[in-house]
Structures are given as C-alpha cells and as structure tokens.
C-alpha cells in the first residue's frame, strides 16, 4: 500500500516528508518523473504475490470531470509502476470508475464519513451518499475479476443503508459517469451494485469456449 498527494488538491508543500521530518509523499506534478519516483519505491518493496494499491489524493472536492492528465497518470502507474489498484480520493462524492488492462482505477471514491454533513449547495452531487467498495483481485496477476459496491447514506455521522430511491439515483449517476470510460454500473440480485466492463464479458466468453473445447464429446 502506497500513498501520495498532489499540491493541486490543496495539500500544502509544508506537509511533505523530509529527510529528517515525517510527512506525506507529495507530488508537485503528474510527470513521467513522478511515475518513475513511485515505480522506484514500489520496486524496492514489492515481493512476489503482492498486490500494489496506490492511494492518491488528487482533484477538486466537487465535480464529475476527470482531467485527461489524471487518466494518463493512472494508466502509466499501471503500465510502468506495477500498480493493481489506483485508489483516488479528494472528491466528496463518488465519481467515475475505469478498468484499464484489467486493473481497477477509482478516480474518486467519495467520503465515507465527513464533517460536511448539512452544508448546502452541493445537492446535485449527492454528497450524502457513499459507497463501500468490495474489490476482488487475482493474487497471481493483480487483475480485477469483479467489483461490488454497497450504497450507503451518511446521517448524523453514522452510515445507514440507502433508500431504494437513493440507491437508484446513485447507480444511475455513477453509471452515467463511468460509461465515458467503458464501464457500466449494474444492480445485483443480492442488493449490491456491480461493475461491468467489456473485457470481463470477453474473458468469460473465452473461458466458456475453452471449457467447451476441453469437454469430452459424446
């Protein structure tokens, strides 16, 4: 598990870790040099069978737009730093989810609990709704077989199950935003949400075809 933060998300330079003082791993940009810096740290600590999660504080507090720079950086973390899950946060509400090379990118998970409850003016972002994320990861490849999510609502600094209406609203909103990145949000019979993406369907078709070809013929 690695964690970094960007100055553009409001993290002051004075919080950065120094050689003799503790602090956060602060990035001043999303350049190739920053990718190389992260890749170096991951490479020094990673062992066979490890699943690498990079938690990154980036982007604004409100809004659904994903900067192209963020998308490029997330892809390069997967391509060049061996990251299996990019865990983005800063947004106070869930935003788009992408699967790149069968690796999970959560561009913004939203808050789980916060002290913003009751602040008006952000209702369009469904800021009282949040998600529990249940990601299954293949320990051999680091790939994502599935992602389930449970919608919850923040009430009086506690979490309760979202109403049916809020469940549908959050599902529709997250599906709308994730669709731009080739993923969809669907409802499961067990009362959770699930992530669906084309590669998942293609992989299942391949597995089915392989199973059929290996089955004994009557």
pLDDT at residue 111, as a whole number = 85
pLDDT per position as a tens digit, 154-203: 888 888 999 999 999 999 999 999 999 999 999 999 889 999 998 644 45
pTM of the model: 0.87
Band of residue 48 on the pLDDT scale cut at 50, 70, 90: confident
* Residues 9-33, mean pLDDT to the nearest whole number: 92
pLDDT per position as a tens digit, 125-134: 777 899 999 9
pLDDT at residue 113, as a whole number = 75
> Does the pLDDT of residue 117 top 70, yes or no?
no
User: Cβ–Cβ contacts within 10 Å for residue 28, how many?
Assistant: 12
pLDDT at residue 199, as a whole number = 65
pLDDT at residue 157, as a whole number = 84
Write out the DSSP string of the chain: -EEEEEGGGT--GGGB--SSS--B-EES--SHHHHHHHHHHHHHH--TT---EEEEE-S-SS-----HHHHHHHHHHHHHH--SEEEEE--SS---EEEETTEEEES----SS-S-TT--S-GGGTTTEEEEEEEE--TTT---SEEEEEEEEEETTEEEEPPHHHHHHHHHHHHHHHGGGT-EEEE-TTS-EEEE-HHHHHHHHHHHHHHHHHSPP-
Spans of all domains in the chain? 2-214
The answer to whether 161 and 181 have CB atoms below 8 angstroms apart is no
pLDDT per position as a tens digit, 74-107: 999 999 999 999 999 999 899 999 999 999 999 9
> Does the pLDDT of residue 211 top 50, yes or no?
no
């Amino acid at each position: 598990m690695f964690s970094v933060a960007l100055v553009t998300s409001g993290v002051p330079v004075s919080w950065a870790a120094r050689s003799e003082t503790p602090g956060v791993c602060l990035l001043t940009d999303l350049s190739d040099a920053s990718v190389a810096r992260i890749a170096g740290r991951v490479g020094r600590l990673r062992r066979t069978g490890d699943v690498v999660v990079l938690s990154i504080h980036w982007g604004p507090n409100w809004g659904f737009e994903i900067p192209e720079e963020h998308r490029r950086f997330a892809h390069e973390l997967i391509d060049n730093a061996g990251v299996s899950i990019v865990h983005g946060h800063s947004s106070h509400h869930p935003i788009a989810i992408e699967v790149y090379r069968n690796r999970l990118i959560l561009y913004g998970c939203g808050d789980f609990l916060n002290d913003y409850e009751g602040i008006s003016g952000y209702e369009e972002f469904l800021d009282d709704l949040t998600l529990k994320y249940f990601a299954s990861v293949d320990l051999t490849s680091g790939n994502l077989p599935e992602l389930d999510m449970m919608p919850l609502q923040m009430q009086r600094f506690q979490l309760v199950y979202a109403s049916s209406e809020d469940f549908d609203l959050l599902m529709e909103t997250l599906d709308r935003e994730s669709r731009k990145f080739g993923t969809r949000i669907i409802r499961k019979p067990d009362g959770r949400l699930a992530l669906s993406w084309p590669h998942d369907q293609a992989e299942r078709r391949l597995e089915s075809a392989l199973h059929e070809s290996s089955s004994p013929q009557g």
